[in-house]
Amino acid sequence: MVATPGAIREASPCSPGGPQGSWCGGSGGRRTLGESVFLLDFGVVSIVLLALWVYCIFDVIATDDSLVRNLPKGMWLLIVIFLPDIGSLAWLLLGRPMYAGWRPGDTTPRPPRRVIGPEDRDDFPSGRNRPLPPPPRPLESRENELAAWEEQLRRREEELKRREQGETGEPPAES
């Protein structure tokens, strides 16, 4: 007995004219929303969530007690184990040490991102068009200016004393 392709198709229980059972796909060969969700339920998403859960469990165990934030280390371990998805995200956002590396239990801090202003960048214009500030004066000229200012102040004080004594009618006292 030789089977032809048409005969096999007619004898198949999943053919369009045959009975439609759950093991045949139920839709007569068309893809349904349930089949594409099946890939997400038991495929990529579940593997990623399982890997995240295992990573967070190892990370909680390997992290030093003094670096754990917001809750004790044992409490974080229970949260991550009994609430896998939410607990893993909560550990990463709220419990993990600040600026820790990405290896489980890594305590070497990553440098925080530094905000760089436009004037600190390499491509910022150098400002060659702006006038340069005057060069500092020599120390001798500053001392001379200070001595002249003190002399001028002393003369003004003496003149003020003479005026005050002149208004009262007393002769100025000579030293």
Along the 175 residues of the chain, how does pLDDT read in single tens digits? 555 555 554 555 555 555 554 455 555 555 555 555 555 556 788 888 999 999 999 999 988 888 888 899 999 999 999 998 999 999 989 888 877 777 776 767 667 677 777 777 777 776 666 666 777 777 777 888 899 999 999 999 999 999 988 876 555 555 5
Buried b (16+ CB within 10 A) or exposed e, 87-125: bbebbeeebbbeebeeebeeeeeeeeeeeeeeeeeeeee
Question: Six-digit token pair at 172?
Answer: 């100025």
pLDDT digits 0-9 by tens, 84-93? 899 999 998 9
Q: How far apart are CA 89 and CA 83, in angstroms?
A: 10
Give the pLDDT score at 76: 93
Q: Count of residues for the chain? A: 175
Q: How far apart are CA 31 and CA 37, in angstroms?
A: 11
Give the pLDDT score at 100: 74
Give the pLDDT score at 54: 94
Closest to 84 measured CA to CA, from 104, 107, 60, 62: 60
Count of C-beta atoms within a 10 Å radius of residue 81: 14
Give the pLDDT score at 52: 92
* 109, β-bridge pairs: 100
3 state SS for 81-128: HHCHHHHHHHHHHHHCCCCECCCCCCCCECCCCCCCCHHHCCCCCCCC
Question: Six-digit token pair at 135?
Answer: 């060069």
